[in-house]
Amino acid sequence: MRLRSQANQNPAPVTFAELAHSMESAGRWVDAAGAAREGLQLFPFSRELQDILRINWERHSCVRAAELDARVRSEQTPDVWLELIEFSLQHSKLDAALQAAERMGQAHPDEARSWVAGGQAHLHLFLRDHLARDGELALARLLYAVSLDPECFEARMGLAEAYFHIGATSKAAIQIMVALELNPDHEEAHALSRSILALPPEKADPRELLIDAEETDEVWTASREHRLDEGHAPVLREEAVALSQIPGVLQVVLCHRLIEISATSGVAACEEDGDRDPLIGLARRFRRSASLVLKRMGFGAFEDAQLNFEDEPVLIFAAGTSVLLVKASSHEDIPRIAMEARGALGAWTGAATARAVQPA
């Protein structure tokens, strides 16, 4: 209880790791993996939490997965398929879960739960990678499941969760009300209903919300719950302004989670100018690339790079999914500016404690 309280009150990679290790010591391997996954949702670059999941899988879970896969080949019943898919999702084996869901759909195309499983697999991929296509496929499969069986509780619950995570709160509210009519005593459905009803209605359709999640690399619900402290942005803005005053620096752009900052000659640009700034657009593309490579392959896309942009040299630095761009006045200034910029990004993002990455 003490370690769980610490993880809730002071979330950090070390507190979730200690919680997972205590569960391992008690033989609670499934709970330990759950604690590690919970921590990785907040701290996706923690090597310690990633190692806990990997070791847990190698020592315990892969044997169970092989057993379930053998049962599927011999029995081919929907319940066995669902057990394998749920097990894969619980252990973050998303590609395996998606493959199993597709095979289940081929074996049982008229079973609504086949399409619910596919929708859940795509929803997990969307929550990890924030690709609009995964969100669209999740909704499409869940909606098809409802068309096959309008009284399928799992389909209604899955749709409510999907709409909730992308920010389509009014659609989520409709689905959760139907789900509760089908299963009035379901505790998780009541908890989800309370979360949905506490939120304001959406201001865009699901497609626009999915595109926004992909462009910002932030799931709507996560951005509300885990947004950086409001006091953090002014500090970063001051540091960016200071870096832009270094001789030879023409412009500085920092993309760090939901914060985008541009500074020129000691003056920070207005947020409204962000969509018109070509250097911010370039930084967004680099940040998105770094984020996808890091989440899907486990290493950074690059550590630093240099290119010519509008006939002027631009230095690009990455730490995790944060990207810093510095436009220089001449190539002669680059070595000196690069040293200052690397130190600044490391201080801003805590990159000194992150896993080292190699240039692509």
Asked whether the beta carbons of 341 and 327 are under 8 A apart, the reply is no
The yes-or-no verdict on residue 24 having pLDDT over 80 is: yes
Share of the chain above pLDDT 90, in %: 26
Task: For residues 117 and 108, give the distance between their C-alpha atoms in angstroms, rounded to a whole number.
Answer: 12
Q: Where are the beta strands (DSSP E) in the chain?
A: 249-256, 259-264, 267-268, 304-309, 312-319, 322-328
Asked whether the beta carbons of 89 and 121 are under 8 A apart, the reply is yes
User: What type of residue is 172?
Assistant: A
Judged by DSSP in three states, 322 sits in strand
The yes-or-no verdict on residue 323 having pLDDT over 50 is: yes
Same-domain pairing of 237 and 218: no
Same-domain pairing of 116 and 239: no
Same-domain pairing of 241 and 329: yes
Same-domain pairing of 164 and 187: yes
Is 258 within a domain? yes
What pLDDT band is residue 41 in, cutting at 50, 70 and 90? low
Task: For residues 21 and 33, give the distance between their C-alpha atoms in angstroms, rounded to a whole number.
Answer: 10
- Domain end residue (candidates: 225, 260, 285): 225
What pLDDT band is residue 292 in, cutting at 50, 70 and 90? low
What pLDDT band is residue 324 in, cutting at 50, 70 and 90? confident
Task: Tell me the CATH number at 25.
Answer: 1.25.40.10
Name the range with the highest mean pLDDT among 92-101, 135-144, 223-232, 289-298: 135-144
Mean pLDDT of all residues belonging to the chain = 80
Can you list the alpha helix ranges (DSSP code H) found in 167-231?
169-182, 187-197, 206-216, 220-225
Is 358 within a domain? no
Same-domain pairing of 169 and 263: no
Judged by DSSP in three states, 350 sits in coil
Same-domain pairing of 208 and 85: yes
217 vs 69, which has greater pLDDT?
Answer: 69
pLDDT at 291: 62
The yes-or-no verdict on residue 212 having pLDDT over 90 is: no
Torsion of CA 102, 296, 217, 260, to 10 degrees: -170
CA atoms within 13 A on the CB side of 142: 24
The yes-or-no verdict on residue 38 having pLDDT over 60 is: yes
What pLDDT band is residue 163 in, cutting at 50, 70 and 90? very high
**How many structural domains are present in the chain?**
2
pLDDT at 168: 93
Digit-coded pLDDT (tens) for 96-129:
899 999 999 999 999 999 999 999 999 988 987 7
Is 252 within a domain? yes
Is 311 within a domain? yes
Same-domain pairing of 202 and 159: yes
Asked whether the beta carbons of 291 and 281 are under 8 A apart, the reply is no
The yes-or-no verdict on residue 242 having pLDDT over 80 is: yes
Cα 98 from chain centroid? 18
Domain region containing 34: 2-225
Task: For residues 304 and 342, give the distance between their C-alpha atoms in angstroms, rounded to a whole number.
Answer: 9
User: What type of residue is 73?
Assistant: R
Same-domain pairing of 100 and 31: yes
Digit-coded pLDDT (tens) for 298-317:
444 445 677 777 778 888 88
The yes-or-no verdict on residue 148 having pLDDT over 90 is: yes
Name the range with the highest mean pLDDT among 10-24, 99-113, 292-306, 322-336: 99-113
pLDDT at 298: 45
Range with lowest mean pLDDT among 31-40, 123-132, 181-190, 225-234: 225-234
Angle among Cα 174, 139, 188 to the nearest 5 degrees reads 50
The yes-or-no verdict on residue 282 having pLDDT over 60 is: yes
Share of the chain above pLDDT 70, in %: 81
Same-domain pairing of 54 and 153: yes
Q: What would the two tokens of residue 342 be?
A: 């690397």
Same-domain pairing of 97 and 186: yes
Task: For residues 314 and 305, give the distance between their C-alpha atoms in angstroms, rounded to a whole number.
Answer: 8
Q: In what order do the strands lie in the sheet with 249-256?
A: 267-268, 259-264, 249-256, 322-328, 312-319, 304-309
